[in-house]
Amino acid sequence: MTPSLAKTFFTAMNQASPQAQALGIETLEFEPDAAVLRVPYAEILVGDPDTGVIAGGVVTTLLDHACGQAVMQALGQPTVIATLDLRIDYMRAAEPGKDLYCRAHCYKLTRSVAFVRASAFETREGDPVATAQAAFMLNSSSGLPRAASGRP
């Protein structure tokens, strides 16, 4: 995808997802096979009011969303994908009051599956809150003639 198409598409993707919109997810950077996203810290995202730590579901959503955008970058065009598998290792609690970032990298594409690794962090990618390993189903019929795809 061209940088302008990617920026437009990822902004629309972030706004079209009610969950991403509610969390304030924004795409900060993208490379040919990677994306960096951010969730700004907000009191409404806190899972434990006594500690001020962002809820684990916010971290999960950020990781999944970033992985999907990395797949789109690796494919070079917007297309239909679906999360097949998302394994998350939580390393530590997020630091209260800090924005959460995620860098995802699509390291392998096959005809029907994309494989991605991601890391969620506050200030240093080397000190992650959580890491993820994901697999995404690709729309294997895209690009095939209609007769070959089995669709009218």
Res 142 pLDDT > 90: no
Q: What is the pLDDT of residue 152?
A: 40
Residue 82: exposed, middle, or buried by beta-carbon count in 10 A (0-12, 13-18, 19+)? exposed
Q: What is the pLDDT of residue 126?
A: 94
Q: What is the pLDDT of residue 46?
A: 94
Where residue 8 falls among pLDDT bands split at 50, 70, 90?
confident
pLDDT tier for residue 11 given thresholds of 50, 70 and 90:
confident
Interatomic CA distance for residues 41 and 29, integer angstroms: 19
Q: Which domains does the chain have, with CATH numbers?
A: 3-149 (3.10.129.10)
User: Residue 70: which pLDDT band, with cuts at 50, 70 and 90?
Assistant: very high
Evaluate if residue 115 carries a pLDDT over 60.
Answer: yes
141 pLDDT band, cuts 50/70/90, is low
- Average pLDDT for 117-132: 96
Q: Which tens digit of pLDDT belongs to each residue from 14-32? A: 888 899 999 999 999 988 9
Q: What is the mean pLDDT of residues 111-140?
A: 94
Mean residue pLDDT of the chain comes to 88
In this prediction, residues 143-149 reach a mean pLDDT of 38
pLDDT at 145 over 50: no
- Based on the number of CB atoms within 10 Å of its own CB, is 37 exposed (0-12), middle (13-18) or buried (19 or more)? buried
Q: Is there a contact between 1 and 67 (Cβ–Cβ < 8 Å)?
A: no
